[in-house]
Amino acid sequence: MVAPTRRELRRAHKRRRRPAERILRFAVLAVVLVVVVAGLGYGYFQYQWSKVSSSPCPSCVAAANGAPYNVLLIGSDSRVGETAAEAQQFGNATNAGGQRSDTIKIVHVDPATGTASTLSIPRDTYVTLSGQPADTQLATQNKINAAFGAGPDALIQTIQNTFGIRISHYIVINFFGLQDAVNALGGVSMDFPYPVRDQDCSTGVCYNNSGLNIPTAGCQVIDGSQALALSRSRYFEYYADGQWNSDPTSDIGRIERQNLIIEAALDKAKGTYDPLRLNTLLTSVVHDFSKDNGLSATDLFGLAERYHAFSGSDLQSYTLPTVGAVSDVAGDVEVVQPDEAGPMISHFLDGDVGPITTPPLDAYGNPVALPVTTTTAAPATTAPPATTAPTSSPTGTAPTAPAATVPSFDPRPC
């Protein structure tokens, strides 16, 4: 009898291998491939992250490992670094010099529960500025967006001293950051109930202030430039009943629409997530934002992994309750409504409110006391209307901020 060859022995052993063993070998191979790809992706992510401009943050408060913390998102109106086409759209450093915080949002992150929420502070909120240089030309009592003129740390000091909100990190995004991020996602889907535009006639001559122009209603994909125009629109108009109608809420309405765009972007990122998409997104916006030294690549990559399935509808969005007023010092301002703002901030921070040393101001420059309570406030997607009376519990505890709905004329994610 002829002895079997080595090739025949290998074939016989392969036929005898159990299905479970073959599945196990395939699984091990798949895990190895995933680890290698993820490692290459993270290495490239670190390389891109190293290009981001970073600065110290003396006033940032470090959070304990795994504990909730707050990140300040600053939308800067600085024109530094823009192209000729962008200068045509946004103005240049000559006619719009310096920098102000066009958008102020605080993101409260709780890694343990996988939840996140945002609190928007209207840019015209009347406060006492902190952290200003001795030779500053700014009045101490001013709109909160003026604090950013002295840099992120001055704005952080102002927020912490005014509202007791401890900030652990900050990210500054310029005009082009939102535009480039939305383009990197391939656009976002928004359902417009009506055609919309941004029509500014305040000078007696009407012109499209932000460039917003959506001529048709319905669910549609908007690109980065349209998303930026929608988020910047302060003279928002919608076409209904045969005429153009204005949104009378100005900055508050703009905050509402910014929150809706964030929701749509989260939904798009969730629906198209893969381990390398974060690298693509970061590559496109690496020159559009800056941050504090303490926010590392590991922190952000970990958050992306932890929250990659986070839905836009899961994000609770709050807007600080204010009413419009006129100040002799700062002109048109937004005055904080203390009975609504205090419980809202307490709820937003899960009760972890810090000391308030320079509370917000009323129209006459007098301090406005914010009641800090452990009573939870009902989540609100927008600021409660000024005409809506706050509710009180039968036991006489601090009133909570009533929930508000998105106006029927605003677009929604679709």
DSSP states of 85-144: HHHHHH--TTTS-S--EEEEEEEEEETTTTEEEEEE--TTBEEE--S--TT--S-SEEEG
Query: In the CATH scheme, what is the homologous superfamily, with its name and number, of domain 54-179+254-413?
Result: LCP protein (3.40.630.190)
Annotated domain spans of the chain = 20-50, 54-179+254-413
Residue 387: CB atoms within 10 A of its CB come to 6
The one-letter amino acid code at 173 reads: I
CA-to-CA separations, 245 to 147, 384, 408, in angstroms, rounded: 34, 21, 12
Q: How many C-beta neighbours within 10 Å does residue 49 have?
A: 21
Instruction: Give yes or no for a contact between 393 and 371, defined as CB atoms under 8 angstroms apart.
Output: no
71 is written with which tokens?
A: 């990140």
Report residues of the chain scoring pLDDT below 70.
1-26, 29, 31-41, 77-101, 271-279, 308, 372-405
Query: Distance between CA 304 and CA 7 in Å, rounded?
Result: 49
Q: Are 110 and 103 in contact (CB under 8 A)?
A: no
Q: pLDDT per residue over 200-254, tens digit each?
A: 888 889 999 889 999 999 999 999 999 999 998 989 999 999 999 999 887 888 8
Task: Quote the pLDDT of residue 112.
Answer: 86
CB 171 within 8 A of CB 72: yes
SS3 content of the chain, % helix, strand, coil (to 5): 35, 25, 45
Q: Return the pLDDT at 100.
A: 46
* Cα–Cα distance, 352 to 350 (Å, whole number): 6
Amino acid at 372: V
Q: What is the number of other CB atoms lying within 10 angstroms of the CB of residue 352?
A: 15
What pLDDT score does 384 carry? 38
What local confidence, expressed as pLDDT, does residue 84 receive? 54
Residue 283: φ, ψ to 5°: -60, -40
Query: What is the per-residue burial (b if ≥16 Cβ within 10 Å, else e) of 220-234?
Result: bebebbbbbbbbbbe
Predicted pLDDT of residue 174: 86
Question: What pLDDT, in 10s, does the model give residues 67-111?
Answer: 999 999 998 765 455 555 554 555 544 544 444 467 899 999 998
> How far apart, in whole angstroms, are the C-alpha atoms of residue 393 and residue 384?
18
Q: Are 99 and 149 in contact (CB under 8 A)?
A: yes
pLDDT of residue 381: 40
pLDDT of residue 45: 73
For residue 322, what are its two tokens? 């204010």
Q: Which residue has the tokens 């052993």?
A: 13
Q: Which residue in this structure is represented by tokens 């401890």?
A: 166
For residue 279, the model assigns a pLDDT of 67
What integer best gives the mean pLDDT of the chain?
A: 80
The conformational region for residue 60 under phi > 0 = left, psi -120 to 50 = alpha, else beta, is beta
CB 308 within 8 A of CB 114: no
Any alpha helices (H) in 224-250, and if so which ranges?
224-232
Please calculate the CA angle 34-37-42 and round it to the nearest 5 degrees: 120
Give the DSSP letter of residue 397: P
CB of 26 within 8 A of CB of 34?
Answer: no
Distance CA 401, CA 392 (A): 10
| All residues at 6 or more sequence positions from 46 whose CB lies less than 8 Å from its CB, including other chains | 297
Q: Are 306 and 369 in contact (CB under 8 A)?
A: no
Q: How crowded is residue 135: how many other Cβ atoms within 10 Å of its Cβ?
A: 5
Q: For residue range 382-399, list pLDDT tens digits in order.
A: 333 333 333 333 333 333
Return the beta strands (E) in 149-215 as ranges. Answer: 169-173, 188-192, 196-200, 207-214
Cα separation of the two ends of the chain: 74
